[in-house]
Structure 1
C-alpha cells in the first residue's frame, strides 16, 4: 500500500486483527448460511485493515493515531 499512509498504530492493529479473526471463527462456528458468510467476511475485512495499517473509514472521519507505527 505505497499510496496510503498508515493511520492506525500498532496497538490498534493488533486489536483489529485479533477481533476480526476471532469474530470470523465464532461466526463460522455458531452461525449458519448467509449470516455466517456475511459476518465472517465483514470481520475478516476488519482484520485486513489491521494487517495493512490503513482504515479508509478512519481516513474519511479524520481519525488517525499520532503514535509512531
Structure 2
C-alpha cells in the first residue's frame, strides 16, 4: 500500500457529499464560467479524498487515525 488512510469513516461521507455539491454548483450553477470549472475541479479532488480515505494535506499536517481498541 502506498498510503495509510488518514480520513475517518464519517468524514469520508462528508467529503463525498461536499465534493458532489461542489461539482454540481460549479457545472450547473456557474455554467460556462472559468470559476465554475475551478470549483468543479476542487470538488473532484475533495470527492477523491473521500473515495480513497487519504488526504495529502492531512498527511503533511501529520494527521493520523486513532487505533480502534
* Partner SS state of residue 19, structure 2: helix
Task: Point out where structure 1 has 5 or more consecutive residues left out of the alignment.
Answer: none
Label 1:58 to 1:18 Cα distance change in 2 as closer, same or farther (>3 A): same
- How far does residue 67 in structure 1 lie from its aligned partner after superposition? 5.5
- How far does residue 30 in structure 1 lie from its aligned partner after superposition? 1.1
Q: How many residue pairs align between the two structures?
A: 67
With normalisation by structure 1, the TM-score equals 0.86
Higher radius of gyration, 1 or 2: 2
| Distance in structure 2 (CA, Å) of the matches to 1:54 and 1:28 | 25
With normalisation by structure 2, the TM-score equals 0.86
Structure 1 partner of 2:45: 45
Flag as ranges the 4+ runs of structure 1 deviating above 2 A. none
Greater relative CO (CA pairs within 8 A, separation 6+): 1
User: Is 1:9–1:67's contact at 8 Å kept on the other side of the alignment?
Assistant: no
Structure 2 partner of 1:35: 35
Structure 2 partner of 1:14: 13
